[in-house]
């Protein structure tokens, strides 16, 4: 019988508070049918990404271990982390900055979009946090980068290209899809979506010249006339390093190797040295392999 698998990536604005991360991970373990198969911590960004996988039932509206596990993680994150005390060099809109569901095997995008919408309804009503939908989970299919721009995601609010503290105002520029019509200072807001598979690939550039690296990042991206299906941003990543952080929306067309070559080419023109890029998660195939190994053990 064919496996029917769905994946969820959960990005939380914290990597330095071990007690908080332990509590979040313990919450997920209440649903062993939806295990965490990968965890990626980034201290300069003060951000952690979790990848969970679960089998899916035929009805997206039925009880989903994956949705329940993610909800418990979100609930724990809000209990353990105060956005008002957070600081890091990665943009974020809330304690739980971003959640995305992806079909893996034998399941449709519409199916996982149903789970995303169900989770958003629970987060909005039960946790009272403004929640925004994107991708297949949104009725107009709006794009993540477009939503983030409208919400002011890419504008640092502290010196040194840092994001610090909670939202400056409770007023939101858009009406949320679920939850109260305002932001909560301690929690921020949540963005939840459903899309085809996305890889994240970051390339370090050894420089403190943010303007120049921003120009490189723009030229790498499809929006800037570069690699189609690539979204990119320049983010400070420790002393003397700025990363070109990329979302690869269609890995069958453009992968990390192509991004690496293009960043190298553009950086050489600017006289800058480039390091070896890296993925922030396992590949789609590797995630499936890790899940099946956990299941068999």
Give the residue carrying structure tokens 């105060």: 82
Residue 137 tokens read as 């989970």
Quick one: three-class SS letters along the chain? Answer: CCCCEEEEEEEECCCCCHHHHHHHHHHHCCCCCCCEEEEEEECCCCEEEEEEEEECCCCCCCCCHHHHHHHHHHHHHHHHCCHHHCEECCCCCECEEEEEEEEEECCCHHHHHHHHHHHHHHHHHHCCCCEEEEECCCCCCCCHHHHHHHCCCCCCCECCCEEECCCCCCECCCCCCECCCECECCCECEEEEECCCCEEEEEEEECCCHHHHHHHHHHHCCCCCCCCCEEEEEEECCCCCEEEEEEECCCCCCCHHHHHHHHHHHHHHCCCEECCCEECCCCHHHHHHHHHHHHHC
111 catalytic residue (yes or no): no
Given the residues 90, 98, 138, 237, the one annotated as active site: 90
Q: What is the distance between the alpha carbons of residues 199 and 172, in angstroms, rounded to a whole number?
A: 29
CA distance 244 to 82: 28
Count other Cβ atoms within 10 Å, centred on residue 76: 22
Residues marked as catalytic: 90
């Amino acid at each position: 019988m064919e496996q029917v698998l769905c994946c969820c990536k959960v990005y939380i604005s914290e990597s330095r508070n071990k007690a908080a991360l332990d509590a979040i991970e313990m919450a997920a373990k209440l649903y062993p049918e939806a295990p965490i198969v990968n965890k990626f911590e980034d201290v300069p960004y003060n951000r952690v990404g979790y990848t969970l996988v679960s089998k899916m039932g035929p009805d997206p509206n039925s009880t989903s271990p994956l949705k329940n596990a993610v909800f418990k993680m979100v609930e724990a994150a809000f209990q353990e982390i105060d956005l008002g005390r957070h600081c890091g060099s990665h943009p974020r809109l809330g304690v739980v900055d971003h959640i995305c569901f992806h079909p893996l095997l034998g399941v449709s995008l519409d199916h996982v979009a149903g789970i995303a919408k169900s989770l958003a309804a629970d987060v909005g009503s039960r946790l009272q946090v403004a929640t925004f939908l994107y991708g297949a989970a949104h009725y107009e299919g709006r794009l993540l980068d477009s939503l983030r721009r409208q919400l002011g995601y890419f504008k640092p609010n502290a010196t040194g290209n840092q994001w610090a503290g909670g939202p400056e105002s409770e007023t939101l520029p858009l009406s949320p899809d679920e939850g109260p019509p305002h932001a909560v200072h301690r929690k921020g807001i949540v963005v939840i979506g459903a899309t085809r598979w996305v890889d994240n690939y970051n390339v370090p550039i050894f420089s403190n010249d943010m303007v120049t690296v921003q120009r490189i990042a723009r030229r790498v991206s499809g929006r800037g006339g570069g690699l189609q299906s690539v979204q990119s941003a320049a983010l400070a990543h420790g002393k003397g390093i700025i990363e070109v952080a990329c979302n690869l929306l269609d890995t069958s067309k453009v992968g990390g190797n192509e991004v690496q070559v293009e960043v190298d080419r553009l950086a050489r023109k600017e006289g800058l040295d480039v390091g070896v890029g890296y993925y922030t998660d396992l590949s789609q195939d590797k995630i499936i392999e890790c899940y099946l190994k956990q299941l068999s053990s």
